[in-house]
Amino acid sequence: MDYPHPILAKEGWPFIAIALCVAIAASLFLPGFVATLAWLALVFVLQFFRDPPRAVPTGAGLVLSPADGRIVKVARVRDPYADREALLISVFMNVFNVHSNRSSVDGTIQSVQYFPGKFVNADLDKASTENERNAVVIDAGGQTITLVQVAGLIARRILCYVKPGDSLTRGQRYGFIRFGSRVDVYLPIDAMPRVVAGDKVSATSTVLATLASR
């Protein structure tokens, strides 16, 4: 599980290498306009797979954003993965966001559940229940937090590196989704949200909510 931040995510290294080779070849053998497009494509791939370190906020009961992106939903719903009423906060990632997924809380993995599905636009509500997704249920000191990686219209690969029994710390990298996606965060129903729909958030450094004291 240890994963030092390499600035560029390891998931992207093959794509970066291919894009670099194509750009070099285009510069040597193709017209200047085509070569320029190839170098721009390399820049896009580099920005997509960037994976910068983030400062981790301290404080009791904080739930941190698991991803960069925009809040598309804050609502009370049913958490189908932990079978409970919950507060749902959904983060939509477009292709220009960092796509590394990081733990929102300190805790122990209770279950990891993968579901095959569709690839509709992850900005839509139905993506949470119809798209390919991977749910990680965490016991955070007696409170249940569910993080769900949801594939999107372009995303075709959900990567998750944890298993039941593993321990996670706030901000620890646990997965990656390639090319546009969404992460749903299901919290105890009495959690206090600190974001609203439309807010832009950053993985780890943005606080999504505060858990009630137990």
181 is an active site residue: yes
How far apart are the C-alpha atoms of 170 and 103, rounded to whole Å?
5
How far apart are the C-alpha atoms of 86 and 146, rounded to whole Å?
10
100, 181, 205, 213: the catalytic one is: 181
- Alpha carbon distances (Å) from 24 to 13, 16, 17, 48, 50: 16, 12, 11, 20, 21
**Quick one: tokens of 174?**
């646990």
How far apart are the C-alpha atoms of 186 and 81, rounded to whole Å?
9
Which amino acid makes up residue 137? V
- Is residue 117 exposed (0-12), middle (13-18) or buried (19+ Cβ within 10 Å)? middle
CB-based contact 170:106 (threshold 8 Å): yes
The residues annotated as belonging to the active site are: 181
